[in-house]
Structure 1
Amino acid sequence: MTSETITYNNNLVRDVFGHLCIDKSRLPSSGLTSVGVPSFVAEWLLDKIVPGSGALNLAELEKINNFVTKAFPRKDDRNEIIFDLTQGQVRKLIALMQVRIKLEQGGRVIPEPLAQIPVLNLAECSIATEVVERYKMLLRQGIWGKINLAMLPDGKVEVIGFEPFQCSQVNLQAYAECRAKFNTQEWRDLLLCSIGFNPQHPSYTQEAKTWILARLLPLVESNYHIIDLAPKGTGKSFVFENISSKVSLISGGKVTPAQLFINGKTKEVGLLGRHDVVVLDEVQSLTFDNPDEVIGPLKNYLASGRYNRSGFADVSSDCSLVMLANIELDEQLQPRNEDNLIANLPKFFAETALLDRFSGIIPGWQVPKFRREMIASQIGLKLDFFGEALLSLRQDNRFLSYVQQHTQFDKSTTVRDQNAIHKSAAGFLKILYPHLDLTLMDFQRDCLEPACKLRQAIRNSQYYLDDEFRQFGRNIYVEVK
């Protein structure tokens, strides 16, 4: 069934999800994302300040603009805010806040938590322990929210109030019951709309939709590592930038071991230990000062979910790692190096032991370039709710059990191939069938086949690069049982 033959049912989405959905045409007309507000925060704000449907009218735009001018600090507002605080004022703002605990060498006093507000370059604000107790996520990736700042008599900035934005716990049973009220095509289109794409655009074929939704796999599966290769402009990083603060996106250039793993000087745990998903963008231009210092611990982490560095104790994490890179296409818009898709990536990818630890390669060249008319304009799920629902599904083992029960491989499939395909298929199952109500034909078409295609791309490169992998043959064979 093509996307043109099915009408998107806005009323059904509203009836089933109520206050958890939003008219997606609100966001593009608000201009909020252009001032650096991620979509999951922007949608929350729109719903609070100017609830409604359709593009924002002039009065609503003015209301939002006034709010943004007052509440969203820019980097150059720092001095003005600090001046106001010295005059005894309380400043209210909306920003990302993190909390760190500074350990002193041989210190006998229990250290106080310190809040950081990166946009203002404020690093050591006093914050009540009760706030940190209530919102433990502040200690990991941080939380977007409303922050009230004041100044203590000793000149230290203090957080005197905090109200977080993110949706808290998601009831997965209720989410599954909501899914049951949609057919598979309607649900797929709802998911696509929720992350900001117009599911009724004729360029979004069934296949294109599958690979856009594959970008959600690292959210629903813990320790799920994948490479996404696509030409510029297909929206590779779009989903990751906008869905949750538990996802961290680093754009190309240099990546240091301190950033990724652990900082030897401050003893602060790096990105892989604090986030649920870490995304390295523009991987084709990625460089390391000392590649061995990164690749060794990285290989260890991708295989075991643990890493250590410079004598520190092991850090365990369930963070998924995503590598995004551009790929060269020929005149037929197919990859120039079809046998070895990683040909244009940095040299360290050509080490098959590293490559083997990725579950697959998303064929992003099968996703059309993103144009203005491809922006969602229907009713979709609010991103803060949707992102949290996806991340909550990580802990549910019923999906992997279903996959293991209904999948069989031939003898030439390696254990890593099997594990990768199991994880990808379980991920597709969580995304498309969270209620676990499906036929084996549904499972084969929507979960197992795309999972196998993702891994086959890894096998093709291994087969091309390393004689050792030729003994297994070129193709992976898997079937439903």
Structure 2
Amino acid sequence: MHHNNPYQNDLVNQIFSDYSIDKTRLPSSGLNKVGVPSFVAEWILDKIAPGRGDLSNAEHDRVNSLVMKAFPRKDDKERIKYKVYQGEEYQLIAKLKVRIPLEKATDEIQKPLASIPILNLRECDIDSDILEKYPLLLGRGLWGKITLNYSVNEQGKYNINICNFDPFQSSEVDLRYYARCRDEFTFEEWRDLMFCSMGLNPEDSGYNNDAKIWVFSRLLPLVESNYHVMELAPKGTGKSFFYENVNSKVMVVSGGKITAPRLFFNGRTGEIGLLGTYDVTVLDEVQSLTFDNPDEMIGPLKTYLANGRYNRAGFADISSDCSLVLLANIELDAYQRPKNEDNLIKNLPKFFSETALLDRFAGIIPGWKIPKFQSKMTAYQIGLKTDFFGDVLLSLRKDNRFYHYAKSHTNFISKVSIRDENAILKSASGFLKILYPSLNLTTEEYLLNCLKPARELRQNIHGLLYNLDDEFKQYERDIIVDVM
């Protein structure tokens, strides 16, 4: 069907040399299976086993011995402590986070405490110059190579100390360079490069043009700040895999209970919650989500979704540009359409049916239009390295030219609310960033690849509001937009 323009491996390699990688390397390495996210794994592979194709036996040995040495498992904690207390310097690759405990009513200055979540080590000492050099360690944390030794405090008590840290973070992204690179590709070539960089095979027959656009809509919360969206899909479409692997500024929380302190602010420990810490927070398996106290959650959540700020009693306002993504499973009928097409959120927890809350989401991604994931759909071409790709997407947030383009080329024909308008312009701006980062495009291309899908995302919300609440009957059932 589309083999008349095969994937351009050599072009990708030539234009993005240092930032590209053969996507077969990662699945062949087995690093994802031991819990190493792609943005770290590809970085390591490029360092210790650069090349193309499946890993050779020698490369496998190299990767395995690194994994055995440097990637601790949960039950390695005591063994590592023992080695360190024996006087060994121990190196590992993991995520490191630092917090400064709340001021207690004492004169002593609070010492920063470092934690290594994978080992459940929560109160390590850390050399202060490391913090000065990498302030991002505070709160969210960074992945990198951590060197441990021990320190002895005044009371003669041993403690684990972090004496060295070498982060994995690609340097500042040059968006002008990235936009110039885009102009070397045709639309199809670039679209397939983006798709491959997400880890998916653009040449798989299951992914038609339509499906590709809906897969790209998963990137909108990364490229647009405060972009709140839901994806409803049957099980098995790989909804959360991308978010779990793309960047350390994206956090996925799966099902179960979620509390206000975890989401917003923990008054007891002084830790800022997920929405104030990450660039994107993803709540997975929302259909099985319970809130400890829904009323305590919905108020601050509505405020946050509306204006990017929230407060907890007695503490200063926290403003954040974190995007909130909700992923939920829904049932499909025999024709692969949602069973409750006129009420897509019928099976979600009751608080989602509050229209004031729904109205604050930019859209619903129609996950039922994305094929179920099978292993043959894994990318095997040359794509962008995940750490570079994730950093590019997140740094596009700050660029306002795309929103201005959307605003000046979009004509709202039916009467729409200000929220409809903003949501559609933000989605269209996001598609522009993903597909046309150099803003070289015709209005026809804008209509087809950016505005139409942006309208459909919002129409899925608007249709719900229209059916659930008479207040929305002042607008027509269908949003109609065109280019100008």
Q: Give the superposition deviation at 1:57.
A: 1.3
Unaligned runs of 5+ in 1: none
Q: State the Cα RMSD in Å.
A: 1.0
CA 1:392/1:452 → structure 2, altered by over 3 Å: closer, same or farther?
same
The reply on whether 1:113 has 2:112 as its aligned counterpart is: yes
Note if contact 1:253-1:286 (Cα within 8 Å) is conserved in structure 2: yes
Q: Distance in 2 between matches of 1:479 and 1:134?
A: 49
The reply on whether 1:424 has 2:427 as its aligned counterpart is: yes
Deviations 1:161-204 (A, max 9, x none): 11111212100011111111011111110011011100000110
1:323 match? 326
The reply on whether 1:337 has 2:332 as its aligned counterpart is: no
The reply on whether 1:396 has 2:395 as its aligned counterpart is: no
2:44 match? 45
Counterpart residue identity of residue 196, structure 1: G
1:33 match? 32
Q: Distance in 1 between matches of 2:2 and 2:360?
A: 35
Q: Distance in 2 between matches of 1:111 and 1:405?
A: 52
Note if contact 1:29-1:55 (Cα within 8 Å) is conserved in structure 2: yes
Structure showing the higher strand proportion among its residues: 2
The reply on whether 1:71 has 2:70 as its aligned counterpart is: yes
Q: Distance in 2 between matches of 1:110 and 1:151?
A: 21
Note if contact 2:331-2:339 (Cα within 8 Å) is conserved in structure 1: yes
Q: Distance in 2 between matches of 1:159 and 1:16?
A: 39
The correspondence of residues 253-264 of structure 1 with structure 2, limited to 5 A, is 253-264=256-267
Q: Normalized against structure 2, the TM-score is what?
A: 0.98
Deviations 1:299-350 (A, max 9, x none): 0000010001222211100000000001110000011111111111111111
2:468 match? 465
1:251 match? 254
Secondary structure of the structure 2 residue equivalent to 1:167: coil
Deviations 1:104-131 (A, max 9, x none): 2234343222211001111111112222
1:12 match? 11
Secondary structure of the structure 2 residue equivalent to 1:416: helix
Secondary structure of the structure 2 residue equivalent to 1:19: helix
CA 1:55/1:318 → structure 2, altered by over 3 Å: closer, same or farther?
same
Q: Distance in 1 between matches of 2:468 and 2:133?
A: 51
Q: Give the superposition deviation at 1:411.
A: 5.2
2:20 match? 21
2:148 match? 149
2:137 match? 138
CA 1:3/1:217 → structure 2, altered by over 3 Å: closer, same or farther?
farther
Counterpart residue identity of residue 370, structure 1: F
Secondary structure of the structure 2 residue equivalent to 1:399: helix
Deviations 1:147-169 (A, max 9, x none): 00000133111111111112121
The match for 2:374 among 371, 375, 378 is 371
Secondary structure of the structure 1 residue equivalent to 2:287: helix
Q: Distance in 1 between matches of 2:75 and 2:242?
A: 28
Larger displacement relative to structure 2 (3-12 or 386-395): 3-12
The match for 2:306 among 281, 289, 303 is 303
Q: Distance in 1 between matches of 2:242 and 2:452?
A: 23
Q: Distance in 2 between matches of 1:121 and 1:291?
A: 30
Secondary structure of the structure 2 residue equivalent to 1:422: helix
How many residue pairs are counted as aligned between the two chains? 480
Larger displacement relative to structure 2 (303-312 or 422-431): 303-312
Note if contact 1:3-1:199 (Cα within 8 Å) is conserved in structure 2: no
Counterpart residue identity of residue 376, structure 1: A
Give aligned-pair identity as a percent: 59
The reply on whether 1:438 has 2:441 as its aligned counterpart is: yes
Q: Distance in 1 between matches of 2:354 and 2:398?
A: 32
